[in-house]
Amino acid sequence: MTEARAQIQQTLDDNKVVLFMKGTKDMPQCGFSSRVAGVLNYMGVEYRDVNVLSDENIRQGIKEFSDWPTIPQLYVAGEFIGGCDIVTEMTLSGELDQLFDKAGIAYNKEASEKIREANA
């Protein structure tokens, strides 16, 4: 196991929700990362943000780890969920709520409803 892979696995083991992104949850550095972080922040989800721009090994390693070519990448309970488009679709369909419920992750259900209402 490469060092990057071991580091990624450790991060996933230590945190229920992890977003590998460009920038940080407080200062995203790309629109797609900003959108996913925005959804999680608005829903009040506690998550670990990993800035792939600060570590080239992690930036490349996460793409190999998930076999997914783009960033951001959201993981819930150690499972790769997807990138911006998938997270957006899941938020709007209510699937993300179900996923959080199943994994025992706290979030603001009201905020989640507001996102769907605003995009209906």
What are the mean pLDDT values of the chain's consecutive 10-residue runs (120 residues total)?
92 98 97 97 98 96 96 98 97 97 97 94
110: tokens are 């009201």
Cβ atoms of 55 and 93 within 8 Å: the answer is no
pLDDT score for 1 = 60
Residue-range domain boundaries for the chain = 3-118
Task: Give me the pLDDT at residue 2, please.
Answer: 87
DSSP readout, 81-108? EE-HHHHHHHHHHTHHHHHHHHHT----
> Which pTM value belongs to this model?
0.96
Tokens representing 29? 């550095």
3-118 carries CATH number 3.30.460.80: no
**Does 84 count as an annotated binding residue?**
no
Cα separation of 76 and 65, whole Å?
A: 15
Residue reference for tokens 């150690």: 78
Residue 120: the pLDDT is 83
